[in-house]
């Protein structure tokens, strides 16, 4: 451990983390043999099919031995063609073109670039702006952070970010307008029209949103009817709708893509995480042939590919992941076990500092408050979500802490999303460990 922290730069610079050496199903094991239930599927819902899946591991070496990389500037691989066909088959009907990337951040950034270049191809070169929402997260690139609405993540890079407009989130627990669903008439969706008009429809290229907000809010799904209104507004003003499914896609919520819960087709989907399932870095942008067809017709090459876009070995692994999910009916399991998980988490509302529980499928969140009646958050200095994570780690449970649910800075929540292979008794184990972890923090805070 000392050697590693001297030479490697870990993501967590401020604490000594265990060294993970083995994984099996929903469990991870460290150097000392301690077992952890992976309640967040790695870092924020990546390992959808669990750890140590032999069917996926077995395709890696033969493919690498045969060929691992092709010159993507002048050729395509069979692995990419096969993966694209598989992804198209589980995507909304109109979205049948797939561009391969290496990460979720790269996927959202690439989607915005495709949107811009599509508008230029249409002769609408003034359309460049991408409107998004506050309390959102769309990636760690400059473009992704520009449309992200998470102050804590944005502030260190603020001078170099694009000044794009943001609208309030669809967040019923802390409604920006102090209204109550459904009598609110979904003002949080209708405000998009105001933003487009204020920016000028001739300047707005796209609107990007997470159907279920992940890290920035802790698994907050938009209410019923929200994305139907968003779709109508985008159509009215000739604005593309990009669904950020980096976290919520590929079966996580009990649908192949979470936007299906609203019965709406976006113009593009950015996805990642679960597509490679932690076995290999992989993501994709999914779009319609209308978009790519126009660019082909006008002989416009897409400017924005990366060295590993459509990486051959990654695509072969991604195909194995999707085949495993299909063979083991993991989307259906996510739907069934997700309902049971949310039922168990709602029992935690009896605890003193649990203010809200929300989610869809195996993507769930718990928000912590000092005062349940007023929804007053804890001070940021207390790092309550971090304390809950530490207590959970002590008990052998991995969760993902989050901050900024109130205003991008204040507010504590955790994200919970175990592998889609989880079983009923393991859900009970997860909820039990989480409950004792929260109770331990409550005792520390003398609540």
What pLDDT digit, counting tens, does each position of 263-306 carry? 999 999 999 999 999 999 999 999 999 999 999 898 888 898 89
Burial of 214 (0-12, 13-18, 19+ CB in 10 A): buried
Residue 45 main-chain phi, psi, to 5 deg: 65, 60
- Please compute the mean of the pLDDT values over residues 394-403 and round it to a whole number: 97
* Class level of CATH domain 57-327: alpha beta
Both tokens of 286, joined, read 């999914």
> From edge to edge, which strands make up the β-sheet containing 129-133?
95-101, 283-288, 268-271, 240-245, 204-209, 129-133, 166-167
Element (H, E) at 326: helix 312-327
Q: How many CB atoms lie within 10 A of CB 235?
A: 11
DSSP string, 55-124: HHHHHHHHHHHH-S---TTT---HHHHHHHHHHHHHS-TTEEEEEEESSHHHHHHHHHHHHHHHHHHTT-
pLDDT value, residue 5:
52
pLDDT value, residue 16:
72
| In the predicted structure, residue 363 carries a pLDDT above the cut 70 | yes
Where in the chain are the domains?
2-49+330-444, 57-327
Burial of 297 (0-12, 13-18, 19+ CB in 10 A): exposed
Both tokens of 92, joined, read 């909304």
pLDDT value, residue 112:
97
3-state secondary structure of 277: coil
Please identify which residue in the block is written with the tokens 């395709």. Answer: 59
Both tokens of 171, joined, read 């967040």
Residues 366-391 pLDDT 10s? 999 999 999 999 999 999 999 999 99
CATH code of 2-49+330-444, in short, is 3.90.1150.10
Both tokens of 276, joined, read 């490679």
Q: Can you tell me the distance from the alpha carbon of 97 to that of 88, in angstroms, rounded to the nearest whole number?
A: 7
Contacts of 232 (CB under 8 A, 6+ apart): none
Residues 24-74 pLDDT 10s? 999 999 999 999 999 999 999 999 999 999 999 999 999 999 999 999 999
Residues 184-235 pLDDT 10s? 999 999 999 999 999 999 999 999 999 999 999 999 999 999 999 999 999 9
Residues 10-35 pLDDT 10s? 777 666 789 999 999 999 999 999 99
| In the predicted structure, residue 362 carries a pLDDT above the cut 50 | yes
What predicted TM-score, i.e. pTM, was given to this entire model? Answer: 0.95
């Amino acid at each position: 451990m000392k050697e590693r922290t001297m030479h490697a730069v870990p993501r967590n610079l401020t604490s000594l983390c265990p060294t993970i050496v083995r994984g099996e199903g929903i469990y991870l094991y460290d150097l000392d043999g301690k077992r952890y239930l992976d309640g967040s599927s790695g870092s924020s819902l990546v390992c959808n099919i669990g750890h140590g899946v032999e069917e996926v591991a077995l395709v890696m070496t033969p493919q690498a031995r045969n060929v691992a990389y092709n010159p993507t500037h002048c050729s395509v691989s069979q692995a990419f063609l096969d993966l694209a066909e598989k992804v198209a088959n589980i995507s909304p009907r109109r979205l049948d073109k797939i561009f391969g990337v290496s990460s979720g951040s790269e996927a959202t950034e690439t989607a915005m670039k495709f949107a811009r270049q599509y508008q230029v191809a249409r002769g609408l070169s003034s359309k460049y702006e991408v409107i998004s929402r506050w309390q959102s997260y769309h990636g760690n690139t400059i473009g992704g952070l520009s449309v992200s609405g998470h102050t804590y993540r944005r502030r260190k890079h603020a001078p170099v970010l694009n000044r794009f407009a943001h609208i309030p989130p669809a967040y019923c627990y802390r409604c920006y307008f102090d209204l109550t669903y459904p009598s609110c008439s979904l003002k949080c969706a209708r405000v998009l029209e105001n933003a487009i008009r204020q920016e000028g429809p001739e300047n707005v290229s796209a609107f990007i949103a997470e159907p279920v907000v992940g890290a920035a809010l802790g698994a907050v799904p938009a209410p019923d009817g929200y994305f139907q209104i968003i779709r109508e507004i985008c159509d009215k003003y000739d604005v593309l709708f990009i669904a950020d499914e980096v976290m919520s896609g590929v079966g996580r919520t009990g649908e192949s893509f979470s936007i299906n819960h609203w019965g709406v087709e976006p113009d593009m989907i950015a996805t990642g995480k679960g597509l490679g399932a932690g076995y290999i870095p992989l993501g994709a942008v999914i779009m319609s042939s209308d978009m790519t067809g126009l660019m082909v017709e006008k002989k416009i090459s897409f400017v924005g590919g990366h060295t590993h876009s459509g990486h051959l070995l990654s695509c072969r692994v991604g195909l194995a992941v999707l085949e495993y999910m299909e063979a083991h009916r993991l989307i259906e399991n996510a739907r069934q076990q997700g309902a049971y998980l949310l039922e168990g988490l709602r029992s935690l509302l009896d605890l003193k500092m649990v203010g809200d529980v929300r989610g869809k499928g195996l993507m769930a969140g718990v928000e912590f408050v000092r005062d349940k009646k007023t929804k007053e958050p804890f001070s940021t200095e207390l790092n309550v979500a971090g304390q809950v994570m530490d207590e959970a780690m002590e008990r052998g449970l991995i969760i993902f802490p989050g901050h900024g649910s109130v205003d991008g800075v204040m507010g504590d929540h955790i994200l919970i999303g175990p592998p889609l292979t989880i079983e009923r008794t393991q859900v009970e184990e997860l909820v039990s460990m989480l409950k004792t972890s929260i109770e331990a923090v409550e005792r520390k805070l003398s609540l």
